[in-house]
């Protein structure tokens, strides 16, 4: 198998979206509704390994109805963002970290591992081509969605697929809170479980979401914005929220301790989570990866020892949690408003991502 970088075959679109239409989309992109002019595809087969890397016009795929992913969900994905920097250039937040996680997800789903250099190069090739789709500034971004799925045709289940397609698509993304930060309400799900020990909870795979929609719908029926998942065995330990990790602030001010549920194998190791552990610690806070129960949470809010709770992930960066609803009662987090530490961490992280603040960690990957 070759170790030299894969050559990309570049076919620019002959019908790109007009400048005027693109500007209209960028004025109000929302999330995940509009896609750029191009996409990347790379194939893998048992015989040839990774090959046939292309940048081509964005468009539909043609799949045999017996394609394995449609039946057995052998699929993984990633999510990361390219931001317009203060100097007008474009940079992607921690793409190597996403590349590493993509390899871990691939191992869990018995799929081939894409070299991290190829993962990053695929993103560079697409962002370079569709640079005009990176919104001008502020909290807007170009959301990148790398994914891979089984393309082998056949219904047999005695072995993982012997053919895969890796792709990257891109979608302009608006500021998550265009009218100011609004805390979310959460529903503690005791009926449904997202991930069990030994399962796929720490892999970024579509199947986890397929199994989660029913609980998210239940949260909405309960009048909440988001579901919070508890552990599968005792229904007691807090794991994560919908598609975001959770943080708890104990105490207030400079002495506040900032903790997040430990990685048990059942929750997704978020790159935003990891980045915030670093930033919070460098701001002088003590940090920790802990076990926290729903009872600890409720008691901490009741006696004031937990002052703030927030969720974090690529799409929304940081979202305050304002209230909790469960079968055992409802309560408010702090005064129900975004707390000072939540807002400070959000400003620090977004500052690095948009190039408004120095990047002491080397997290921003310039696209040239």
Ligand X SMILES: *Cc1c(COP(=O)(O)O)cnc(C)c1O
Binding test (CB under 6 A) with ligand X, winner from 37, 75, 124, 240: 240
∠ CA 207-209-213, rounded to 5°: 125
Q: Is 170 in the site for ligand X (CB under 6 A)?
A: no
Binding test (CB under 6 A) with ligand X, winner from 172, 270, 320, 355: 270
Interface region with ligand X, contact rule CB under 6 A, candidates 146-154, 179-187, 240-248, 288-296: 240-248
Residue 73 burial by CB count (10 A; 0-12/13-18/19+): exposed, middle or buried? middle
Q: Beta strand pairing status for 184-189 and 226-230?
A: parallel
Q: Is 25 in the site for ligand X (CB under 6 A)?
A: no
Beta-bridge partner residues of 90: 84, 367
Nearest to 346 by CA among 357, 335, 336: 357
Closer to ligand X by Cβ: residue 67 or 98: 98
| DSSP track, 313-368 | ETTTEEEEEEEEEETTEEEESTTSS--HHHHHHHHHHHHHHTTSS--TT--EEEE-
Closer to ligand X by Cβ: residue 53 or 317: 317
Beta-bridge partner residues of 186: 226, 324
Closer to ligand X by Cβ: residue 6 or 80: 80
Q: Is 272 in the site for ligand X (CB under 6 A)?
A: yes
Closer to ligand X by Cβ: residue 173 or 272: 272
Interface region with ligand X, contact rule CB under 6 A, candidates 115-123, 133-141, 180-188, 264-272: 264-272
- CA end-to-end span of the chain: 29
Q: Is 350 in the site for ligand X (CB under 6 A)?
A: no
Interface region with ligand X, contact rule CB under 6 A, candidates 107-115, 118-126, 176-184, 267-275: 267-275
What residues numbered 51-80 form the site for ligand X, per CB under 6 A? 79
Dig out the tokens for 180 from the structure. 């100011």
Interface region with ligand X, contact rule CB under 6 A, candidates 150-158, 168-176, 237-245, 320-328: 237-245
**Largest Cα–Cα separation, the chain:** 63
Closer to ligand X by Cβ: residue 109 or 244: 244
Site string for ligand X, 306-345 (x = CB under 6 A): -------xx-------------------------------
Separation between Cα atoms, residue 227 and residue 183, nearest integer Å: 14
Which residues form the interface with ligand X (CB under 6 A)?
79, 204, 240, 243-245, 268, 270-273, 313-314
């Amino acid at each position: 198998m070759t170790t030299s970088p894969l050559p990309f075959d570049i076919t620019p679109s002959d019908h790109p979206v007009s400048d005027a239409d693109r500007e209209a989309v960028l004025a109000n992109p929302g999330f995940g509704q509009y896609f750029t002019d191009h996409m990347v595809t790379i194939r893998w087969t048992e015989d040839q390994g990774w090959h046939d890397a292309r940048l081509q016009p964005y468009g539909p795929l043609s799949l045999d109805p017996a394609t394995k992913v449609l039946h057995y969900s052998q699929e993984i994905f990633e999510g990361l963002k390219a931001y317009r920097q203060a100097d007008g250039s474009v940079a992607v937040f921690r793409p190597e970290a996403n590349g590493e996680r993509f390899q871990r997800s691939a191992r869990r789903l018995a799929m081939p591992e894409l070299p991290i250099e190829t993962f990053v190069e695929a993103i560079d090739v697409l962002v370079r081509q569709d640079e005009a789709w990176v919104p001008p500034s502020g909290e807007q971004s170009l959301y990148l969605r790398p994914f891979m799925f089984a393309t082998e045709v056949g219904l047999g289940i005695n072995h993982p697929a012997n053919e895969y397609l890796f792709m990257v698509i891109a979608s302009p993304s608006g500021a998550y809170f265009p009218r100011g930060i609004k805390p979310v309400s959460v529903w503690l799900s005791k009926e449904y479980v997202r991930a069990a020990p030994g399962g796929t909870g720490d892999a970024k795979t579509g199947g986890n979401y397929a199994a989660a929609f029913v609980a998210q719908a239940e949260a909405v029926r309960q009048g909440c914005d988001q579901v919070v998942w508890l552990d599968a065995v005792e229904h007691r330990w807090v794991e994560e929220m919908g598609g975001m990790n959770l943080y708890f602030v104990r105490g207030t001010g400079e002495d506040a301790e900032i903790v997040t549920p430990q990685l048990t194998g059942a929750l997704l190791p978020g790159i935003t989570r990891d980045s915030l552990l670093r930033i919070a610690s460098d701001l002088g806070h003590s940090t920790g990866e802990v076990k926290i129960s729903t009872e600890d949470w409720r008691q901490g809010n009741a006696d004031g020892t937990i002052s703030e709770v927030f969720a974090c992930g690529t799409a929304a960066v940081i979202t305050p949690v304002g209230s909790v609803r469960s079968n055992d009662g409802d309560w408010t987090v702090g005064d129900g408003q975004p707390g000072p530490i939540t807002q400070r961490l959000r400003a620090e992280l977004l500052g690095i991502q948009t190039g408004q603040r120095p990047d002491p960690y080397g997290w921003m990957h310039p696209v040239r």
